[in-house]
Structure 1
Amino acid sequence: MIVDNKMIKYIKNCCLLLALSLVSCSDYLEENIYGEPLLESFYKTPVDAEQAVIAAYTPMREMYGRENFGASTSNDLLFGDIGTDDILKGGARASDGAQLYEKELYNLTSSNASAENIWKINFKGIYFSNLVLEKVPNIVFEDEVRKKEIIAEAYFLRAYYYFDLVNTFGGVPLITEPLEVGEYNVPRTTQDAIYTLIEDDLKAAIPNLPSRFDKGADYLGHADKGAALGLMMRVSLYQNKMGQVKTYGDQLFSLSYELEDDYSSIFNSVGEWGSGSIFEVNYTTSADNLGGRMPHMMAPRSKGGIGFGQVKEDLRNEFEVNDPRLDASFYNVTGGYGTEWFVKKYAIAPYTDYAKPSVGGKGNTANNIRIIRLSDAYLMYAEAIYNTDPTTAVTYVNKVRKRARGTNPVTVVPDLAATLSGQPLLDAIYHERRVELAGEGFRFHDLIRTNRAETILASLGFQKNKHEIMPIPLSQISLSQGVLTQNNY
């Protein structure tokens, strides 16, 4: 596994610096505030800038990581897709993970712990990103190219965090600079305004980000041009801006990405940052709290895990006969609860080649989180052009199906007919997304954005015009003294 040791060092150093600099004045009895000199002396050098941008990545890691148990139940792998026809809450009993059970039943409350984590962690990321965007332009660099890259990474990160927020809550407060005391109560803006900011940030990032293929291994984990283009494709798709999906897809496909030959290798350690990997969140077990928690969350209880996020039969039945991706995606462990089927994509030995953690306990695994993959981009592109250029759309879907087939006969996951078009082609693309990306946290959002959620999820409790987004955390409404307004809950 490739580990960015510089990133690890920066994370630890910068978190310490920021923690000291952000302590409230009221925590000190002395007139001289220890945090003040540090804040004044920071953001002065290129090294400070590097540390600041690495700090802006830490909330992204926190959402799947060892250091925050609640956050690791709150990402799209669990909270996102629980309640769909793909994923069952699991656990030991209904009260195990009550916040997830609320999502499964669509009985969501404004005190849901996962919703609160999504709010807090993403706004923390926005704050750190805004610090970089405000402070780094004033720092003198000998390497002006790297300065532009750091600023571009911060634009990418702010877009990333806001994208999670807008998909979870709809319109949220739009904050583009670090707030001072007395400025914290910012009302919600519209969903469209948030999307405009996200697009503007990515447009600012793309020209100044390098491709990871032009950098060394120690750059892996930083946002690069491919990551920004891939995220822009997703942002455009979720708004049904299909022309934009094509435009940014064309730019992405001009880079050096290729589908890996073996689908089953992608979610093993040997598959990290493979030729088809566009963006990942790095983890390592070399130190406590630098690992990820998802394999522990999603492993069977009989194997020392928590058993959340079990695979429903409906999803397993979606796979075509002999599709190798079925065995590559799931595994079965009998345990007398739930479906007894688990997501292999985030697992440790013996189900993948990731070793059992030797440092930091069970929840400190080395599995990187795959955020954007080339096959996802191919399928987004195909969906964007299916009605205007069905022949090319079929070509891109068949790229994904051919890789899935591997060395098997052409009768296994056979190519779509070159003449396929219209609704049958769109349905084929929807099918391909569901099986290719199974267990990766896209199902709920795919159903929402394609207006299929009511038809498919109503029997599970989903209500149209309500459950597309989550309730604003009551704690945040209370802190705002009513400035924040609630969704339809």
Structure 2
Amino acid sequence: MKKYIVVLMVLTGVIGIHSCSEKDLELSNPNQLSPETYFANEAQVQAAVNASYANLQTVALYGRLMWYMLDNMSHEQTPNGQQEADKVTFYDFTYDSSNAQIADFWDSCFRGINKANFVIGNQEKINEIPENLLSASRKRKFIGEARFLRANYYFMLVNRFGNVPLLNGDNTQPEGKPISPKAAVVAQIIDDLTYAKANLLSKSEEENGRATKGAAQALLGKVLLYEKQYGPALSAFREMSGYALEADYYDNFKEETEHGIESVFEVEYDLALGTGAKWDSNVIGAGQNHATFRGQDYGNLDWFNVYPSDDLLAEFEADDSRFAGSFYVVGDTYLDGTKTMEEGNFAENGGNIRPAAWKKYQNYYKQQSENQESGINAKVIRYSDILLMMAECANEVESQAVAVGFINRVRARAGVSALATSLNKQQVFDAIVHERKVELAGEQVRFDDLLRWGRASAFLAGTNFQSGKHELWPIPDREIASNPNVSSEDQNPGY
């Protein structure tokens, strides 16, 4: 059941006043809380934790821009002529430090971190709550959620910017923190996730929408993999339990099948909770903004701003059922099987007919057209992603046969033939590259894959991608202007 909350909070320091709404996170409404009365009971602790989730929903992140930024940079898709110019800058790598979307991404992530720090920094006050009002295990659970969320926001930031300010809950320097080395931030991420996985509840015990033990284990493994710590990453993944692949690949991308057995962590949207503030919440995560624009933005029957690239379409094997779960082509049915996609449905505004359109996260399976918002949750981590990361780790530190076993579990669901266990290390790696490209298409992982594999420059040859520059985004001008401890000397190379 989807539930509604609006929590008014007075947060100290740079956070200000925020309201937060999360579906499936139920609590009493603690009206007009002040810093003096905060953290007196479970409802107040839960309210503060809930606020930390809200920034994931913002337009700057999964509400809209995250999709465009990463899918365009990976060239998994191509802009149609009508796509807004500020989105095209990510496809052709022409953004600079004045880019408002990059600044909003930075701001929204740090606001989420500040909200998490409000909880973490008040751990002593939380621990003073009497046991009969809040048990010790639930106190640790709520702190674990805040630390998971802080780690998640920081992981997004270091992947895009590298070195960033490290806000660890110490607010003794309110004018702004200096840039910290990426290694120090990653160490904080690992520490947060280690705490989180030890104290969060399992998926079967927790409310839908909250961070779980499995989510912390998964994100920790992913961070360690990105750091090329293959053995520890594999160990973190192997701690996970209670997950499996959906029988139907497409069930991962429909509203009615959210939080299924394959889902490890997803960002919540629910139109019933209100969308009146959807254009007013680029960064703050306040008001009724329970909508993502992905449906109408990507939908071929609506705005059709982008379409799957020819390169991506050509990657699928002929008998791979994931093609039909990812894209619409002429002759496909929609609206509960009552209508058929025709050639004219794939024409951009300029009249060019495109070979395919995105089906993932579209509402056409049950609607004739998209509205200006969608309530389908964004899947941040799926178990198929975990299996393929486990294959990558096993290929490095165990055996190719073990790695192939993980890959074949994913391929079996797709209906494609199993790989031979006799493949050598390079052949297994090449298989992983292929499998991640088709399994996770349009899910904001490929650009980071290309970067960490050192393949971005070769794959994006002929575009404006510049090696040594576009691996990172520029630190926003408005951060340099507003933070006296960050200067132009801290700017990333090439900007």
Kindly state the Cα deviation for residue 137 of structure 1 after the two structures are TM-superposed: 3.6
User: SS at 2:430's partner residue?
Assistant: helix
In the other structure, the counterpart of 1:347 is: 362
Q: Is the 8 A contact 2:327 2:358 kept in 1?
A: yes
TM-score, normalization by structure 2: 0.84
In the other structure, the counterpart of 2:401 is: 391
In the other structure, the counterpart of 2:219 is: 231
Q: Is the 8 A contact 2:159 2:472 kept in 1?
A: yes
In the other structure, the counterpart of 1:266 is: 252
Distance 2:65 2:238 in 1: 33
In the other structure, the counterpart of 1:256 is: 242
Which consecutive unaligned segments of at least 5 residues does structure 2 have? 19-30, 276-289, 330-344
Distance 2:185 2:73 in 1: 26
Structure 1 residues 280 and 354: alpha-carbon distance in aligned structure 2, compared to 1, 3 A threshold: farther
Distance 2:61 2:380 in 1: 20
Structure 1 residues 395 and 185: alpha-carbon distance in aligned structure 2, compared to 1, 3 A threshold: same
Distance 1:353 1:256 in 2: 30
State how 1:17-416 maps to structure 2 within 5 Å: 22=16, 38-62=34-58, 68=59, 72-75=63-66, 77-90=67-80, 92-93=82-83, 96=84, 98-139=85-126, 140=129, 141-142=131-132, 143-177=135-169, 179=171, 183-215=174-206, 219-252=207-240, 255-289=241-275, 290-300=290-300, 303-305=301-303, 307-332=304-329, 333-336=345-348, 337=350, 339=354, 341-349=356-364, 352-353=365-366, 362-387=371-396, 388-405=398-415, 413-416=416-419
Kindly state the Cα deviation for residue 309 of structure 1 after the two structures are TM-superposed: 3.9
User: SS at 2:204's partner residue?
Assistant: helix
Deviations 1:157-204 (A, max 9, x none): 000000000001001000111636x62221111111111110010001
Deviations 1:301-321 (A, max 9, x none): xx333x334210100000001
Aligned residue pairs: how many? 442
Distance 2:477 2:48 in 1: 31
Q: Is the 8 A contact 2:177 2:485 kept in 1?
A: no
Kindly state the Cα deviation for residue 243 of structure 1 after the two structures are TM-superposed: 1.1
Kindly state the Cα deviation for residue 479 of structure 1 after the two structures are TM-superposed: 0.8
Q: Is the 8 A contact 1:78 1:308 kept in 2?
A: no
Q: Is the 8 A contact 2:327 2:357 kept in 1?
A: yes
Q: Is the 8 A contact 1:21 1:39 kept in 2?
A: no
Structure 1 residues 53 and 159: alpha-carbon distance in aligned structure 2, compared to 1, 3 A threshold: same
Q: Is the 8 A contact 2:54 2:112 kept in 1?
A: yes
Kindly state the Cα deviation for residue 481 of structure 1 after the two structures are TM-superposed: 3.9
In the other structure, the counterpart of 2:339 is: none
In the other structure, the counterpart of 2:492 is: 487
Q: Is the 8 A contact 1:43 1:136 kept in 2?
A: no
In the other structure, the counterpart of 2:466 is: 463
Deviations 1:318-364 (A, max 9, x none): 00012111111012432235746332111112xx347978xxxx333
**338-347 or 38-47: bigger deviation:** 338-347
User: SS at 2:121's partner residue?
Assistant: helix
In the other structure, the counterpart of 1:477 is: 480
User: SS at 1:164's partner residue?
Assistant: helix
Q: Is the 8 A contact 2:12 2:118 kept in 1?
A: no
TM-score, normalization by structure 1: 0.85
User: SS at 1:321's partner residue?
Assistant: coil
Deviations 1:434-459 (A, max 9, x none): 00001111111000000001111121
Kindly state the Cα deviation for residue 392 of structure 1 after the two structures are TM-superposed: 0.8
Of Structure 1 and Structure 2, which has the larger fraction of its residues in helix? 1
| Cα RMSD (Å) | 2.5
Are positions 1:431 and 2:443 aligned together?
no
In the other structure, the counterpart of 1:13 is: 7
Kindly state the Cα deviation for residue 18 of structure 1 after the two structures are TM-superposed: 8.5
Kindly state the Cα deviation for residue 53 of structure 1 after the two structures are TM-superposed: 0.2
User: SS at 2:253's partner residue?
Assistant: coil
Distance 1:304 1:82 in 2: 19
Structure 1 residues 220 and 465: alpha-carbon distance in aligned structure 2, compared to 1, 3 A threshold: same
Which consecutive unaligned segments of at least 5 residues does structure 1 have? 25-34, 63-67, 406-412
In the other structure, the counterpart of 1:446 is: 449
Distance 2:9 2:462 in 1: 45
Structure 1 residues 20 and 130: alpha-carbon distance in aligned structure 2, compared to 1, 3 A threshold: closer
Deviations 1:359-382 (A, max 9, x none): xxx333220111111110000000
Structure 1 residues 269 and 128: alpha-carbon distance in aligned structure 2, compared to 1, 3 A threshold: same
Distance 2:141 2:52 in 1: 14
Distance 2:235 2:381 in 1: 17
Structure 1 residues 122 and 199: alpha-carbon distance in aligned structure 2, compared to 1, 3 A threshold: same
Q: Is the 8 A contact 1:263 1:403 kept in 2?
A: yes
Counterpart residue type for residue 421 of structure 2: A
Deviations 1:449-476 (A, max 9, x none): 0000111112112111110010111011
Distance 1:458 1:13 in 2: 48
Distance 2:368 2:141 in 1: 34
Distance 1:365 1:85 in 2: 24
User: SS at 2:164's partner residue?
Assistant: coil
Counterpart residue type for residue 347 of structure 1: Q
Counterpart residue type for residue 191 of structure 2: D
Kindly state the Cα deviation for residue 483 of structure 1 after the two structures are TM-superposed: 2.3
**379-388 or 117-126: bigger deviation:** 379-388
Distance 1:72 1:272 in 2: 17
Structure 1 residues 205 and 20: alpha-carbon distance in aligned structure 2, compared to 1, 3 A threshold: closer
